[in-house]
Structure 1
Amino acid sequence: MTVEVRQARYFIAVAEELHFGRAADRLSMSQPPLSQAILQLERQLGTTLLNRSSRSVLLTEAGSLFLEQCRLLVGASERAQETAQMASSGTIGTLRIGAVTSAFSEVLPEILARFRATRPLVELRVQEIDSHYGRDALGRRELDVAVIRHSETGRRLISVPLRRDHFVVAMPKDHPLAQGKGPVSLSEFREDSWVWLPRQISPDYHDELVAACRQVGFSPEAQHYANSINSQLAMVKCGLGVTLAPESSVRQQPDDLVWRQIKERADLVELSIVSRAEAKEPLVEHFILCASPDV
């Protein structure tokens, strides 16, 4: 048989008061139903839990041991209820976050700091992703929220804009244009060797690079390949070629990296917080709220 939490509460009250009348008052019920409930419990268990007389109520040995287990049962029930309420309010739980590389050095540190300060009991699981994977992972429910370069999300996903960025061209120190000042035309680099990011690494980012070059009339000659923006810039500093990179990422590099703004408009797609369009979980809503500087 299974002892219900209600039965355990009844027995605890009687066992602690050792008086059915006081126990009934404590439970805000009348005495006869309480007495019947304890008798029914003893029948279910097949043992006597209380020795009753006209003058006293005493626990049997079985009753004393059963009391300990009843307290554990009620305690577990109360903890389960508390856990459910905390999860519903977004004060505990696990939040799975995916973010593109540039977010880790820009917007994400402040958001995570605000989130940890206000939700210290929440477990954060963070991974580096590209934008394409982030959208797919949200659809597969492998992520709860993604900080990615926003493109068309469709009806299943919604996005909250964070900022826009711009491409700049990074080049080795000995490049002919390295000593100049002011913006340069991207077309001046049509004959250069390029450090590139393969499309399978990040389709969205790759396509943005290609589009920026094609709008000024050339397709870059990719001779060297990197697996991340930081690797791209490191290879440029080694003198292997030139590349386009987000200005925000370039500004995070040491002073020995040479870069110039470009004349042509070359906006990166907006960096956004993307989540599923269905009813939001409290933790996701709070993460989005933490992106506001007013939090």
Structure 2
Amino acid sequence: MIEVRQARYFLAVAETLHFGRAAERLAMSQPPLSQAIQQLERQLGARLFDRGGRKVALTETGRVFVKECRKLLAAAQHAQEVAAQTEAGLVGTLRVGVVTSALSEPLLGTIADFRQARPRVELQVMEVDTPTGQDLVTRHDLDIAVIRPSAPVRGLRVRPWRHDQFVIALPERHPRAAERSTVAVDLSLFADEPWVWLRREASPDYHDQLMATCRRAGFTPDARHLANSILTQLAMVACGFGVTLVPNATAARTFQRPVAYRRLTDPADIVELSLVTRANAQEPLVKEFLRIASGESIGAAQLK
């Protein structure tokens, strides 16, 4: 295996055809250089230079070897530059897991800004649910997860990112759907309605926020229909299966018809989305993404 150092020594002699001048270029004395070239020739089993009289000339093998050594040095230089750029967060791959309903602002703006700041970085996005996102970050299969709040997981750091309030989603033919959208309603009015509910295993903390909101209004919802995502909940409401609660930001951008939305008279603040990374994440690209997202970020929590 030819070393980069050997290639550099050989090229210095090949380009000057003079061991003394080559040694000066390399900032070393001539004897060690001569010994290194002799060792290289023994290693290759071929003469690289003709050393007749005072002149040094490349052999045919030497002339061919020049091209290969230049390729080797160029590859080594490229590898060094890539390593430095990766360490600086200028190149590489960032893997982001996202719950479906997060594919809107502020994530879209964050991704656009990240791509502008790091145009040579490959950004890979995967749709996940909250437990899967946590698991993939833990296993180093994702770098960042944009997910719903969930139970603490050892080794993960959670940054609450987007706060919101629940609104109630109604089928278009519901009696209260005809009211002005600006009219706030008391959630207790829907205590006897059939509800479209989110499975707890899809997002435990978010599910518990839903349940706590209903119980604060004095009832436990009749969860007749179950969904695995907020978008599926809204699709089922659109089909007339029942009512549900969704974050206001989600309501503003999906299913404007045949779903109607009403503000609540006693809205509760919720953490709708969080940015989740490994607690000890030091990758430059992760730091850069979080830096760009920090314009929307609201605090951070370390889970140990």
Q: Name the SS of the counterpart of 2:293 in structure 1.
A: coil
Q: Name the SS of the counterpart of 1:200 in structure 2.
A: helix
Q: Name the SS of the counterpart of 2:174 in structure 1.
A: coil
- Would you say the 8 A contact 1:99–1:127 is kept in 2? yes
Cα distance, 1:133–1:101 mapped onto 2, change above 3 Å: same
Q: Aligned-pair distance for 1:254?
A: 5.0
The correspondence of residues 208-287 of structure 1 with structure 2, limited to 5 A, is 208-256=209-257, 257-287=259-289
Give, as a single letter, the amino acid of the residue that structure 1 aligns with 2:197: W
Q: Distance in 1 between matches of 2:173 and 2:207?
A: 26
Q: Distance in 1 between matches of 2:49 and 2:117?
A: 49
Give, as a single letter, the amino acid of the residue that structure 1 aligns with 2:155: R
Q: Aligned-pair distance for 1:95?
A: 0.9
The correspondence of residues 60-139 of structure 1 with structure 2, limited to 5 A, is 60-139=59-138
- Would you say the 8 A contact 2:148–2:203 is kept in 1? no
Q: Name the SS of the counterpart of 1:53 in structure 2.
A: coil
- Would you say the 8 A contact 2:150–2:203 is kept in 1? no
Give, as a single letter, the amino acid of the residue that structure 2 aligns with 1:281: E
2:46 maps to 1:44: no
**Alignment-derived partner of residue 177 in structure 2:** 178
Cα distance, 1:128–1:204 mapped onto 2, change above 3 Å: farther
- Would you say the 8 A contact 1:102–1:248 is kept in 2? no
**Alignment-derived partner of residue 9 in structure 1:** 8
**Alignment-derived partner of residue 299 in structure 2:** none
Unmatched runs of 5 consecutive residues or more in structure 1: none
Q: Distance in 2 between matches of 1:120 and 1:195?
A: 42
**Alignment-derived partner of residue 196 in structure 1:** 197
- Normalising by structure 2, what TM-score? 0.89
Q: Distance in 1 between matches of 2:291 and 2:267?
A: 31
2:29 maps to 1:30: yes
Give, as a single letter, the amino acid of the residue that structure 1 aligns with 2:178: Q
Provide the identity percentage. 54
Number of aligned residue pairs:
293
- Would you say the 8 A contact 1:161–1:273 is kept in 2? yes
Instruction: Spell out, residue by residue over 1:82-141, the C-alpha distance to the aligned partner (whole angstroms, 9 max, x if none).
Output: 111111111111111112223211211011101111111111111122233322222222
Unmatched runs of 5 consecutive residues or more in structure 2: 297-304
Q: Distance in 2 between matches of 1:232 and 1:158?
A: 29
Cα distance, 1:223–1:269 mapped onto 2, change above 3 Å: same
Give, as a single letter, the amino acid of the residue that structure 1 aligns with 2:246: A
